[in-house]
């Protein structure tokens, strides 16, 4: 391409001399201010520390995503639907199409032959193969293909087109695509590297490309809808709606347009829905402005936020932006007050609505879903709702700030959604949001975490930021009221996303039982794309468990359940040894210390090896352990800090030992962290969300860790902790250590409800209850269970003559079973009697 312009060759824009002067002046002014404020350096340092958070807006202008040499033969367009930069060069008779989403090192734009006059607008179809364009002088509307090797152009026939003024030409979204579903307007199709492979590559990006598309043409005489068949290359008129218009506003991601009538002299905007090959007239939007004020092109915009399409009016004199929803009659009218008049430009990114004010050159960020909650009485809140039931005032999320990038924005045009085109220096920028800075500024502006969590939950891919904030709030001892607010915000969003996922999936793929929607968490995450969803798994793994590890210095590879039982075993063994040697019981001392667990350093451990004893009891393995946790279960057991050299044994690996101190307040009252976990589960249950198994097992482990046995018993009895195999195994190990009768019965009942009959047999054998064990095996048809295990357990447990009585009872039960099997082998199969000869002979003797 031959380019002639102000910028040098090579595709980079030239530096502005005005910018250099402004930058130099700005630097000199700063030096003068520093010299004149020598006594107040301490205050300046404090201001500078605060400036790292609040000096600039989190919305920032990126580096140029595209550059060209400015000339009279070049014009650049932005295709919002497909996120494409379209560069037309009349002299080269070509288009250069750049996909912003694929701006990488080896990316090459698509070169398209295009012999036409300078166009007013160019936009690609949803399949990114055909493009629609129009030009003036003379008026012409045509459609071409990116593989147009024969210069064939399809003309759109409009009656008396030469006498009309073309207001807009654009493609309509697919019939299966609703407003806002396209997200940022980025198509799933991919652009190609060369023109020869462009069509195949673009079509390969879509799993089921459409064979046709609809488009609309708006002139000052009316609105016409056409249908294009990609296979037959035919254009069919569908609908014509006659209306005299002066201006047209539209949003490519939706099917809504707004027209300013030239026949009605009132200040009213007439919106239409272009749907099902028809133009449906909607209720007009009346503007509350003086009669003498004209309505300009920049005063009105059509924008889609949260899948709803709005018509917005920018009131420059009062510094106010008004929203009227076109896609739903249930939505409120929103009013955004800037408290600063002047020319305005708007942009949107991830459903954040941004406003740039040319007067103060500051950026305002809004979220129309966020409404500041005021603490007031029910009567006052009800009266306020009645008085303003149709209008909601939206407060900006952060204090207005400047863009970090120093650009002269007076000659830069804003394009939906978030694209800036500098036609003077040949640069295309994008507006992006730094969510880390955004999070900090929200917390600074509202002085709480609730608003930040509420806003970030509606942004994509913000799970890690929210869990980090949640974790830090626990470290800083968050108040229970603030904690409950954050938890409810997270779980309400959780329920909404579950319902949205259920609507997207087919009825056959969603199991429904007793009016409950049952979906796997992985399927929910898959259906929601990049939306932020925080589940119980995220809270437990990234917040609760990480908090316990950091607070008490635990081993990441070891589960809380393993550690707790190991510690109890060790304490039990210490007490028994002290009683045997006449030592003092240390229960009073250990309850008066704070429960903190820290690793001992290898140096300190090796210097006092006698003080780091360990019990010889093997560790207990949790049932929900990962391979790493199972590996960690083989680590040496722990010991207390009150151990004496005479009462302990030297550990084989002192560096892996723990130092323990126990808190009287945490062990004699409900620990605060346990209350946090219970409130989180309560919030889920109040929203009819069945807590995931990982949360229930974690709650079990926390009760064991803090020795809250009575609390655990109530949670199990009232089914707050639901039945699961993991819980039964934990209950079994807990009962083996404590010998609490209630733990035995709860484990037995839960195993029977779950059909875990092998666990029931394990309980019977561990409790020395052999009398009815054969009858239980027969009644539940456990014919593969080895009877030799029962005989071996009886032999190991009894050293008195009573074991022969038990042997005889078991043998009589087996004799009845064998006799029934001889009479009816199909109904009564034989038991597994392998390796039982030893005990049969012993009883006979």
What are the tens digits of pLDDT across the range 304-345?
Answer: 999 899 999 999 988 999 999 999 887 888 899 888 888 999
C-alpha pair distances (Å), 5 with each of 66, 150, 462: 16, 31, 43
Report pLDDT for 291. 82
Cα 626–chain centre separation: 25
Q: Is 613 helix (H, G, I), strand (E, B) or coil?
A: strand
Of the pLDDT bands very low, low, confident and very high (cuts 50, 70, 90), residue 518 is confident
18, 408 Cβ separation under 8 angstroms: yes
Pick from 254, 257, 213: which is nearest to 235 by CA? 213
Instruction: Tell me the average pLDDT of the chain.
Output: 77
66-433 under CATH 2.130.10.10, yes or no: yes
Query: Per-domain residue ranges for the chain?
Result: 66-433, 448-534, 547-668, 720-844
DSSP string of 511-544?
EEETTEEE--HHHHHHHHTT-----HHHIIIIII
Q: Yes or no: say if 193 and 99 are a contact pair by the CB < 8 Å rule.
A: no
List alpha helices for 423-507, DSSP H. 435-446, 450-456, 463-475, 480-504
Q: 233 pLDDT exceeds 60?
A: yes
Residue 722 pLDDT greater than 70, yes or no: yes
For the chain, give the number of residues: 845
Q: Are 296 and 279 within 8 A, CB to CB?
A: no
Cα separation, 772 vs 405, whole angstroms = 81
What mean pLDDT is predicted for residues 14-37? Answer: 40
Look at residue 58 in the predicted model and tell me its pLDDT. 92
pLDDT at 382 over 60: no
Report pLDDT digits (tens) over 680-689. Answer: 999 999 999 9
Q: Which residue(s) pair with 34 in the sheet?
A: none
pLDDT tens track for 439-498:
888 888 777 888 889 999 999 889 999 999 999 999 999 999 999 999 999 999 999 988
Do the Cβ atoms of 309 and 179 come closer than 8 Å? yes
Pairing between β-strand 391-394 and β-strand 333-337 as defined by DSSP bridges: parallel
Q: Are 564 and 620 in contact (CB under 8 A)?
A: no
Residue 193 vs residue 55, higher pLDDT: 55
What confidence tier does 667 reach under pLDDT thresholds 50, 70, 90?
low
pLDDT at 595 over 90: no
pLDDT attached to residue 313: 94
How high is the pLDDT of residue 633? 36
pLDDT of residue 391: 67
| pLDDT value of position 581 | 60
Q: How many angstroms separate the CA atoms of 366 and 303, rounded? A: 14
- pLDDT of 28 above 90: no
Is there a contact between 657 and 615 (Cβ–Cβ < 8 Å)? no
Element (H, E) at 308: strand 308-315
Over range 190-216, report the average pLDDT: 52
- pLDDT band, residue 416 (cuts 50/70/90): confident
Residue 232 CB neighbour total at 10 angstroms: 10
Most confident of 370-384, 545-559, 615-629: 545-559
Closest CA to 566 of 639, 666, 655, 668: 639
pLDDT of residue 615: 34
Is 192 or 570 the better-scoring residue by pLDDT? 570
Strands annotated E in 150-267:
154-155, 166-171, 212-219, 222-229, 234-242, 245-250, 256-261
Task: Reply yes or no on whether the pLDDT at 660 is more than 90.
Answer: no
pLDDT for position 618 = 37
* pLDDT of amino acid 71: 93
Look up residue 277 and give its two tokens: 């090959």
Residue 509: pLDDT band by 50, 70, 90 thresholds?
Answer: low
Which of 431-435, 679-683, 824-828 comes out lowest in average pLDDT? Answer: 824-828
Q: Mean pLDDT, to the nearest integer, of 585-607?
A: 40
> Is 217 in a helix, a strand, or coil?
strand
- The DSSP 8-state label assigned to residue 299 in this structure reads G
Given this model, what pLDDT does residue 802 score? 72
Classify each residue of 393-430 as buried b or exposed e, where b means 16 or more C-beta atoms within 10 Å of its C-beta. ebebbbebbebeeebebeebebbbbbbbbbeebbbbbb
For CA atoms 461, 465, 468, 469, give the dihedral sign.
negative
Please write down the HEC assignment for all residues of 101-143.
HHCCCCCCCEEEECCCCCCCEEEECCCCCEEEEEECCCCEEEE
Please give the structure tokens belonging to residue 499.
């319902």
The more confidently predicted of residues 563 and 583 is: 563
pLDDT at 111 over 50: yes
pTM of the predicted model, to two decimals?
0.74
How would residue 656 be classed by pLDDT, with cut points 50, 70 and 90?
Answer: very low
Residues in contact with 31: Cβ distance below 8 Å, sequence separation at least 6, in sequence order: none
**pLDDT over 70 for what percent of the chain?**
73
State mean pLDDT over 571-590: 64
In this predicted structure, what is the pLDDT of residue 411?
Answer: 85
pLDDT number for residue 514? 55
Contact 454, 488 (CB under 8 A): no
Q: Which pLDDT score, from 0 to 100, does residue 352 have?
A: 93
Percent of the chain with pLDDT over 90: 41
Alpha carbon 409 to its chain centroid, in Å, reads: 34
**CA 645 – CA 608 distance, rounded (Å):** 10
């Amino acid at each position: 391409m031959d380019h002639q312009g102000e910028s040098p060759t090579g595709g980079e824009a030239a530096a502005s001399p005005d910018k250099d002067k402004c930058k130099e002046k700005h630097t000199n002014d700063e030096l003068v201010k520093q010299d004149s404020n020598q006594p107040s350096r301490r205050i300046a340092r404090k201001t500078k520390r605060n400036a790292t958070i609040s000096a600039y807006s989190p919305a920032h202008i990126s580096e140029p995503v595209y550059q060209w040499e400015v000339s009279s033969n070049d014009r650049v367009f932005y295709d919002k639907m497909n996120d494409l930069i379209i560069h037309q060069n009349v002299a080269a008779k070509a288009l250069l199409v750049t996909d912003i989403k694929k701006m990488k090192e080896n990316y090459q734009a698509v070169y398209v032959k295009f012999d036409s006059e300078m166009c007013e607008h160019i936009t690609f179809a949803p399949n990114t193969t055909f493009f629609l364009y129009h030009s003036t002088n003379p008026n012409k509307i045509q459609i071409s293909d990116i593989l147009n090797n024969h210069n064939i152009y399809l003309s759109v026939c409009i009656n008396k087109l030469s006498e009309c003024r073309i207001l807009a030409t654009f493609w309509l979204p697919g019939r299966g695509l609703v407003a806002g579903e396209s997200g940022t307007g980025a198509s799933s199709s991919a652009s190609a590297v060369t023109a020869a492979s462009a069509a195949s590559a673009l079509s390969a990006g879509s799993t089921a490309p459409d064979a046709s598309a609809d488009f609309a043409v708006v002139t000052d005489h009316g609105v016409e809808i056409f249908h294009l068949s990609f296979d037959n290359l035919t254009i069919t008129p569908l609908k014509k709606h006659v209306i005299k218009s002066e201006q047209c506003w539209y949003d490519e991601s939706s099917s809504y347009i707004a027209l300013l009538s030239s026949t009605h002299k009132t200040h009213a905007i007439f919106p239409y829905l272009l749907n099902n090959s028809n133009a449906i007239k909607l209720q007009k939007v009346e503007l509350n402005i003086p009669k003498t004020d004209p309505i300009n092109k920049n005063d009105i915009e059509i924008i889609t936020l949260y899948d709803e399409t709005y018509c917005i009016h920018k009131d420059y004199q009062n510094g106010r932006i008004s929203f009227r929803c076109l896609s739903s009659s249930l939505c409120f009218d929103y009013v955004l007050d800037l408290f600063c008049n002047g020319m305005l430009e708007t942009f949107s990114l991830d459903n954040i609505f941004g406003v740039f004010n040319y007067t103060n050159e500051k950026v305002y960020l809004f979220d129309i879903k966020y409404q500041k909650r005021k603490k007031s009485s029910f009567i006052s809140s009800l009266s306020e709702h009645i008085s303003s039931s149709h209008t909601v005032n939206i407060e900006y999320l952060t204090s207005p700030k400047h863009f970090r990038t120093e650009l002269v924005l007076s000659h830069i045009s804003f394009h939906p959604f978030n694209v800036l085109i500098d036609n003077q220096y040949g640069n295309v920028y994008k507006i992006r949001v730094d969510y880390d800075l955004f999070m900090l500024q929200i917390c600074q502006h509202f002085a709480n975490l609730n608003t930040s969590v509420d806003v970030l939950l509606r942004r994509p891919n913000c799970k890690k930021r929210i869990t980090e904030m949640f974790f830090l709030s626990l470290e800083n001892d968050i108040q229970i009221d603030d904690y409950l607010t954050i938890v409810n915000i997270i779980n309400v969003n959780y329920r909404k996303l579950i319902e949205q996922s259920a609507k997207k999936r087919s009825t056959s793929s969603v199991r429904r039982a007793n009016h409950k929607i049952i979906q796997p968490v992985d399927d929910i995450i898959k259906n929601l794309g990049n939306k932020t969803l925080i589940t119980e798994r995220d809270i437990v793994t990234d917040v609760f468990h990480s908090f316990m590890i950091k607070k008490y210095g635990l081993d990441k590879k070891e589960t809380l359940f393993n550690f707790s039982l190991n510690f109890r075993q060790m304490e039990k063994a210490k007490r028994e040894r002290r009683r045997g040697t006449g030592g003092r019981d240390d229960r009073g001392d250990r309850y008066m210390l704070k429960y903190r667990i820290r690793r001992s350093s290898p140096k300190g451990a090796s210097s006092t090896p006698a003080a780091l004893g360990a019990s010889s009891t093997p560790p207990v393995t949790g049932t929900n352990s990962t391979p790493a946790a199972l590996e960690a279960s083989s680590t040496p057991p722990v010991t207390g800090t009150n151990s004496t050299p005479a009462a302990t044994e030297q550990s084989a690996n002192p560096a892996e030992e723990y130092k323990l101190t126990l808190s009287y307040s945490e062990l004699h009252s409900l620990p605060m962290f346990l209350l946090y976990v219970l409130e989180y589960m309560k919030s889920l249950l109040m929203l009819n969300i069945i807590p995931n198994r990982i949360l229930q097992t974690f709650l079990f482990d926390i009760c064991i860790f803090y020795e809250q046995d009575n609390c655990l018993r109530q949670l199990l009895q009232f089914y707050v902790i639901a039945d699961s195999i993991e819980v039964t195994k934990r209950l079994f190990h807990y009962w083996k250590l404590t010998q609490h009768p209630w733990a035995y019965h709860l484990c037995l009942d839960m195993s029977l409800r779950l059909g875990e009959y092998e666990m029931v047999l394990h309980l019977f054998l561990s409790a020395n209850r052999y009398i009815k064990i054969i009858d239980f095996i027969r009644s539940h048809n456990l014919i593969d269970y080895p009877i030799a295990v029962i005989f071996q357990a009886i032999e190991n447990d009894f050293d008195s003559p009573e074991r022969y009585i038990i042997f005889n009872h078991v043998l009589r039960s087996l004799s009845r079973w064998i006799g029934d099997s001889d009479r009816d082998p199909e109904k009564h199969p034989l038991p597994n009697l392998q390796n039982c000869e030893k005990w049969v002979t012993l009883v006979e003797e």
